[in-house]
């Protein structure tokens, strides 16, 4: 979705601030007609995309009904906010998350907290990756599932994932203390002119909502 666009260059902090302004703007909107225009804009932008386009269309239809039944407007707001977050996540890449991880957790937290955070972030992905990798062998060779197959598979996947997680945790613990002296592995984020433009659009939208959308 929207590959090779300027939004890829907008830094993660700008996107976080923009998300804040967009969320506040959506909360402030009370005019159903105004919100119908907003939801229709999202539908026009995303109509070729299956899930986000469908949610935008549903939000538009609900907003039309909300003109006569204002109590339904909050449903449309939630849908549009979900669509915006889905759209935003398309432009948030792993290096951006690593940069925030390094700047926030490594500088201010303990080793035990770092282990906890790393486990939450990486362990589900390791389980999924190893499960698919090992189970694909059975599928590729057309082998039958034996008794307690999935239980044994889960034990093996869990054991391998824990081993891989220990290596990742060790790497992050080393970076925790190394980061106190110098930056380790992610290019530092700089504020560029397109970041300012991106943020100004969201601030302008917020001001328009305050003036005409309430």
pLDDT for 159: 92
pLDDT for 185: 45
Please check the confidence at residue 188 and state whether its pLDDT lies above 60.
Answer: no
Distance of CA 66 to the CA centre of its chain: 29
Please check the confidence at residue 65 and state whether its pLDDT lies above 60.
Answer: yes
Percent pLDDT > 90 in the chain is 3
pLDDT for 52: 80
Identify whether the C-beta of residue 198 lies closer than 8 Å to the C-beta of residue 7.
yes
Of 25, 10, 17, 23, residue with least CA distance to 90: 10
Instruction: Using a cut of 0.75, tell me whether the model's pTM lies above it.
Output: no
Distance CA 104, CA 67 (A): 44
DSSP string, 82-107: HHHHHHHHTT--HHHHHHHHIIIIIH
Tens digits of per-residue pLDDT, 156-184? Answer: 899 999 999 888 888 766 665 555 544 44
Please check the confidence at residue 18 and state whether its pLDDT lies above 80.
Answer: yes
Alpha helix ranges (H) inside 1-110: 12-28, 32-46, 50-66, 73-89, 94-101, 107-108
Distance CA 84, CA 157 (A): 35
Check residues 15 and 65 and name the one with the higher pLDDT.
65
Q: Per the structure block, which two tokens stand in for 189? A: 């984020």
Tens digits of per-residue pLDDT, 109-133? Answer: 566 666 777 788 788 888 888 888 8
Distance CA 175, CA 184 (A): 7
Of 39, 49, 40, residue with least CA distance to 3: 49
pLDDT for 1: 46
Percent pLDDT > 70 in the chain is 71
- Please state the length of the chain: 214
CA distances (Å), origin 35, targets 20, 31, 43, 201, 204: 18, 6, 12, 17, 16
For the chain, the structural domain boundaries read 11-92+191-213, 94-178
């Amino acid at each position: 979705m929207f590959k090779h666009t300027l939004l890829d260059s907008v830094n993660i902090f700008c996107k976080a601030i923009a998300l804040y302004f967009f969320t506040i703007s959506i909360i402030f909107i009370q005019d159903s007609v105004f919100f119908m225009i907003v939801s229709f804009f999202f539908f026009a932008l995303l109509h070729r995309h299956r899930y986000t386009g469908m949610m935008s269309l549903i939000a538009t239809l609900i907003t039309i009904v909300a003109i006569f039944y204002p109590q339904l407007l909050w449903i449309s707001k939630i849908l549009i906010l979900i669509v915006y977050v889905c759209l935003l996540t398309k432009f948030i890449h792993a290096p951006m998350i690593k940069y925030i991880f390094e700047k926030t957790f490594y500088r201010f937290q303990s080793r035990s907290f770092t282990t906890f955070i790393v486990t939450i972030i990486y362990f589900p992905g390791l389980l999924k990756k190893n499960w698919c990798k090992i189970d694909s062998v059975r599928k590729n060779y057309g082998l039958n599932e034996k008794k307690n197959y999935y239980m044994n598979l889960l034990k093996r996947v869990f054991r391998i994932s824990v081993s891989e997680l220990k290596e990742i945790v060790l790497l992050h613990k080393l970076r925790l203390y190394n980061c106190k002296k110098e930056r380790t592995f992610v290019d530092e984020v700089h504020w560029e002119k397109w970041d300012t433009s991106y943020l100004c659009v969201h601030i302008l939208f917020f001001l328009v909502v305050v003036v005409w959308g309430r």
